[in-house]
Every structure is written in C-alpha cells, then in structure tokens.
Amino acid sequence: MLEVNNLVALSTVVGGFATGFAAAFAIVGIPLTYIQIKTSKELHREGIAKGLYREYLADAINRPDFITPNIEQLKRTGKFVQYELFIAHMLYSLEEILAHTNEKEWENVVIGQLKTHIEYLRSEDFHHKRKYYDSALITLIANIT
C-alpha cells in the first residue's frame, strides 16, 4: 500500500511540474506569437508597397515624356490628358504606399516622385482635382520646397 501511495505522490509531483512547464511555455509562446503575427503583417504591407511602386515604375518606363514633363509641350502635342491620367495613377499608387507603410524611407520615395511633378501638382489644372486625394498626400505636396 505504501508503494501505491508513493506512486500517487510521485505522479502528483510530476503532473505539477508538467503543468508548470506547460504554463511557462504558454506565457512565453503568447508574446512570440504576437511578434510573429505583427512581423508577418509588416512584411505583407511592405510587399504591397513594393508591388505598387514596381507597377508605377513600369508605367513610367513606358512613358518617358511623362517622367520629367514639359507641361507646355505636352499640351501642344495633345498628350496632356494622358499625362493627367498618368499622374492620377501615380498619386493613387503613392497614396496606397503611404497607407501600407509607416517608414520614413517610403515617405522620402513618395516626396521624390512628387517633386518631379510639382509644377503640375501646384497648377490650376490640378487644383480642382485635389479633393479626390488623401489629405496626407496633399499635405506632402504642399510642403515640398
């Protein structure tokens, strides 16, 4: 009978240690899972931003006269409406990039692209279209020197 009591006591101690280990792993595992989910979301957002930027650049490569535009020449040659559509696509892409990232590096990329087209973005031609874009993007445009 004594041996049975010893076995019961031993199994209770072992069960207690097992429960303790399980609790410790759970306590450690929850923060690690949170970090893994957060990292996964950040990588997904970065992937979206890169994809949008790559798509915009592919469009820009096919339209070299829009990359460093001469607004008056575009108007004379009848390409101004196409340029405005190119800008609409660019601004949409840049808005989405800003929405999916929080990094200063991406904001600098956006500002660099906006600077190239600042003449148009500050023109009367664009002024009435500003309402279609996110206020954060319009603020970036306004703050470009």
Q: Which amino acid is at 139?
A: T
What pLDDT digit, counting tens, does each position of 94-127 carry?
999 999 888 889 999 999 999 999 999 999 999 9
Is there a contact between 52 and 97 (Cβ–Cβ < 8 Å)?
Answer: yes
How many Å apart are CA 64 and CA 34, to the nearest integer? 45
For residue 63, what are the contacts with CB-CB under 8 A and spacing of at least 6? 82, 86
pLDDT level of residue 134 (50, 70, 90 thresholds): very high
What is the pLDDT, as a whole number, of residue 54? 92
Residue 78, both tokens: 């009848």
Backbone angles phi, psi at 122, to 5 degrees: -105, 5
What pLDDT digit, counting tens, does each position of 27-85 carry?
766 776 767 777 777 778 888 888 989 999 999 999 999 999 999 999 999 999 999 99
